[in-house]
């Protein structure tokens, strides 16, 4: 496995404020990036904003401000959102930055040089909301398949010879079965490509808010060509740099299912045309509904992630989004389900375990990591946690199956709670204090493992748990989950504090 890992979020349109969808992709990428760092990789984690195109230009016009001003304001909101969500991105790119514009133009020139761009005339349907071209046959009752309105466009346009890449793309998918995930989405992409690819219009002349086409400034680049190149320009493309050498091809572009086609068809074709390697994997996640309803501005049910965090707590939201639905599926956001997860998984299972164990140690073991002489059942619990850790790693790094990984972590806590009940350490205090110490040691060590496994998902709470177990900050890597790094008896522990409060409805 290679040492470097490059992961990206989509870059977010600045026509509007951030919503739950943006938070979801960003958190999923963050979990992945954090896990890879804990697993010892050198990680580059990129996010940013997609600032050009007709949609942004129109939104700005409606607000009577310049597109640049709208972009500046909203890009800031996205940057703030990432901070609020504790996202650990190493870079944030804006497509209006000079480094990006230069790089995107250089990429265009590379496509011209290789002979894959020609001038023609586009006449057909375009959806500003989706920033996408549609064929007549794709329309449903006069609208885009996404439900977005379309308009008829006729204008001179540069085209990319996408049709020349049909066979190469199919061969590429065949040879790289893990390129598109999940499996069902992969099949959709393959049948789309098998259905035949038409050349793609990659420039517009009827508005101005975009990157000028090199050598013909009456055109601006199609916003998706501009946007996709962000993954390269953030590494310093077209210049040779250690970043380019270390991190291209990207390991994982995380995207929503609605933008899979751009990433899994157009992007690898552009890269092949520019004689560059395609990314290694595109994961398309599903969409959230709100209490069973499609989320839309017109329905007024857009979920504000910042308000959610203020109400319920950051790690509660991070946990819920990653735990509730298998990554890749669609899912429903509901207040009841959120509270259910907070109370049953976090407060009752993991939180209760931590609270019981830490306060018993505090009261009965002189606030120090207890001594131990293991019995079979102790070893059994710890080896269960160890074996689960390996499974969890596989679920995350190979499959991005975050909900399964959290389920497996929860199973460790469930077992540990059963072990508490079976061993009743509170009774052992008088009867057999030595045994009580061993039981509490086993539980504390089990909590250390749980803490390490939770770090990528809910870093603040996991760190708080590890702090209470006296685990040094340099002792928090994934490979340390085993016995070689186990807690040392006698280590002084701080005063325990609750980590996952129960959610009580205010009456």
Question: 419-424 long-range contacts, Cβ below 8 Å, gap at least 24?
Answer: 419/377, 419/381, 419/443, 419/446, 420/353, 420/356, 420/357, 422/377, 423/377
Residues in contact with ligand MSP by CB under 6 A are 10-13, 21-22, 24-25, 50, 227-228, 230, 255-256, 258-259, 287-288, 295
Which of the 8 DSSP states describes residue 210? Answer: S
Alpha helices in 248-375 (DSSP H): 260-261, 267-273, 305-312, 314-324, 335-341, 352-364
Looking at beta carbons, which residue is closest to ligand MSP?
256
Residues in CB range of 190: below 8 A, 6 or more apart: 170, 173
CA dist., res. 207 & res. 131, Å (int):
13
Kindly state the smallest distance separating residue 462's Cβ from ligand MSP, in Å.
Answer: 25
Closer to ligand MSP at the Cβ: 207 or 287?
Answer: 287
Closer to ligand MSP at the Cβ: 39 or 258?
Answer: 258
Angle at 316 between CA 19 and CA 499, to 5 degrees: 150
Kindly state the smallest distance separating residue 230's Cβ from ligand MSP, in Å.
Answer: 6
Kindly state the smallest distance separating residue 256's Cβ from ligand MSP, in Å.
Answer: 2
Closer to ligand MSP at the Cβ: 201 or 230?
Answer: 230
CA dist., res. 133 & res. 493, Å (int):
61
Kindly state the smallest distance separating residue 19's Cβ from ligand MSP, in Å.
Answer: 7
Nearest to 202 by CA among 147, 270, 136: 270
Closer to ligand MSP at the Cβ: 50 or 57?
Answer: 50
Kindly state the smallest distance separating residue 369's Cβ from ligand MSP, in Å.
Answer: 43
CA dist., res. 455 & res. 120, Å (int):
53
Kindly state the smallest distance separating residue 130's Cβ from ligand MSP, in Å.
Answer: 8
Tell me if 342 sits within 8 A of 316, measured CB to CB: yes
CA dist., res. 411 & res. 399, Å (int):
19
Closer to ligand MSP at the Cβ: 73 or 258?
Answer: 258
Closer to ligand MSP at the Cβ: 81 or 227?
Answer: 227
Kindly state the smallest distance separating residue 231's Cβ from ligand MSP, in Å.
Answer: 7
Closer to ligand MSP at the Cβ: 56 or 413?
Answer: 56
């Amino acid at each position: 496995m290679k040492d470097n890992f490059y992961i990206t979020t989509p870059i977010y349109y600045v026509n509007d404020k951030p919503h739950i969808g943006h938070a979801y992709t960003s958190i999923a990428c963050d979990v992945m990036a954090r896990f890879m760092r804990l697993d010892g990789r050198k990680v580059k984690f990129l996010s940013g904003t997609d600032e050009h195109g007709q949609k942004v230009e129109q939104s700005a016009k409606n607000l009577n401000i310049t597109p640049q001003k709208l972009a500046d304001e909203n890009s800031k909101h996205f940057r703030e959102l990432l901070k609020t969500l504790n996202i650990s991105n190493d870079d944030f790119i804006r497509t209006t930055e000079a480094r990006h514009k230069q790089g995107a133009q250089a990429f265009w020139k590379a496509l011209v040089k290789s002979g894959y761009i020609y001038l023609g005339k586009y006449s057909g349907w375009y959806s500003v909301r989706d920033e996408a071209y549609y064929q007549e046959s794709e329309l449903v009752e006069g609208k885009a398949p996404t439900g977005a309105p379309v308009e008829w466009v006729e204008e001179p346009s540069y085209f990319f010879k996408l049709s020349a890449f049909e066979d190469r793309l199919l061969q590429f998918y065949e040879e790289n079965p893990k390129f598109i995930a999940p499996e069902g989405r992969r099949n959709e992409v393959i049948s789309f490509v098998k259905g035949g690819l038409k050349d793609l219009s990659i420039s517009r002349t009827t508005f101005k808010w975009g990157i000028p086409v090199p050598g013909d400034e009456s055109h601006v680049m199609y916003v998706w060509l501009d946007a996709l190149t962000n993954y390269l320009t953030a590494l310093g493309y077209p210049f040779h740099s250690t970043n380019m050498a270390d991190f291209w091809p990207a390991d994982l572009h995380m995207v929503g299912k609605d933008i899979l086609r751009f990433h899994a068809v157009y992007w690898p074709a552009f890269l092949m045309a520019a004689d560059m390697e395609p990314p290694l994997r595109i994961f398309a996640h599903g969409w959230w509904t709100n209490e069973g309803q499609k989320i839309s501005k017109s329905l007024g049910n857009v979920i504000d992630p910042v308000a959610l965090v203020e109400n319920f707590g950051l790690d509660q939201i991070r946990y819920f989004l990653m735990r509730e639905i298998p990554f890749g599926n669609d899912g429903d956001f509901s207040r009841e389900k959120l509270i259910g997860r907070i109370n049953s998984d976090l407060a009752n299972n993991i939180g209760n375990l931590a609270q019981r164990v830490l306060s018993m140690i505090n009261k009965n073991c002189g606030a120090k990591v207890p001594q131990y002489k293991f019995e079979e059942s102790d070893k059994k619990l710890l080896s269960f946690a160890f074996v689960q850790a390996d499974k969890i790693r596989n679920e995350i790094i190979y499959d991005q199956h975050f909900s399964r990984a959290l389920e497996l972590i929860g199973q460790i806590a469930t077992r540990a709670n059963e072990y508490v009940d079976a061993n009743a350490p509170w009774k052992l205090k008088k009867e057999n204090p030595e045994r009580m110490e061993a039981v509490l040691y086993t539980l504390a060590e089990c909590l250390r493992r749980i803490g390490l496994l939770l770090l990528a998902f809910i870093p603040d709470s996991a760190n708080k748990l590890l702090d209470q177990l006296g685990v040094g900050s340099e002792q928090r890597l994934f490979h340390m989950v085993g016995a070689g790094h186990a807690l040392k008896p006698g280590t002084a522990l701080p005063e325990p504090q609750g980590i996952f409060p129960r959610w009580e409805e205010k009456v």
